[in-house]
Amino acid sequence: MAYAVGHISGGHFNPAVSFGLWVGGRFSAKDLVPYIIAQVIGGTVAAAILYLIYTGKADASVGGFASNGFGEHSPEKYNFLACALIEVVLTALFLIVIHGATDKRAPQGFAPIAIGLALTLIHLISIPVTNTSVNPARSIAVALFADGWALEQVWFFIVFPIIGGVLGGFIYKFLLESKD
C-alpha cells in the first residue's frame, strides 16, 4: 500500500505514526485530525468487509475478532504492564524505522520495504502478547465488531501506541536526525 498510495497520503494509515511524524517535524498539526478520522474510517470499512466475509460462514463465532487485549484477553495472558511496554516500545521502534527510512540521507525508494519488514517483525514479536496493535485505527476498527470486552480495552490500544509513536518521533528528531 505504501508504494500504491504513499505518494498521495504519505502512506501512513496509523494514528500513532501520524503523531510520531508530527512530533518528529515531518507532519503538520493541522492535518492530524483529518488523517486520524480517515484512518479510523478506513480501518472500520476494512473490518466491516472482513466481518461480513467471516460471518458468511454458517457456524461463525465472532468472539474477539482479532481484537487486542491485555490480562485475560491477551493471547498468552500477559499482564497490563507487559502489554503496555510492548506496545510503547515496539511503536517507538516502528517510528524510528519510519523516520530513518524516510530520512533525506537514506537510500531513496526503499522506505516501504524497510517499514514493511519492520512491521512484520513487530507482529511476529507481539502477537502472543497483545495480538499486536501499534495502530489505534486498527484496534478501534476490529473492536467495533468483537465481543464487548474489546471495546472496554480499546482505550489501552489508543493510548499506549500513541505514547510510543510520540516517543519514537521525539527520539529520532532529537537524538538521531542530522542537525545539518
* Site of grid cell 529520532: 172
- Model confidence pLDDT, tens digit, residues 70-126: 999 999 999 999 999 999 999 999 999 999 999 999 999 999 999 999 999 999 999
Domains of the chain: 75-180 (1.20.1080.10)
* 17-36 exposure pattern, b = at least 16 Cβ within 10 A, e = fewer: bbbbbbbbebbeeeeeeebb
Rounded Cα gap, residues 116 and 132, in angstroms: 15
Q: Are 62 and 54 in contact (CB under 8 A)?
A: yes
* 69-89 exposure pattern, b = at least 16 Cβ within 10 A, e = fewer: bbeebbeeebeeebbbebbbb
* Nine-digit cell string for 160: 499506549
Model pTM score? 0.95
- Model confidence pLDDT, tens digit, residues 75-84: 999 999 999 9
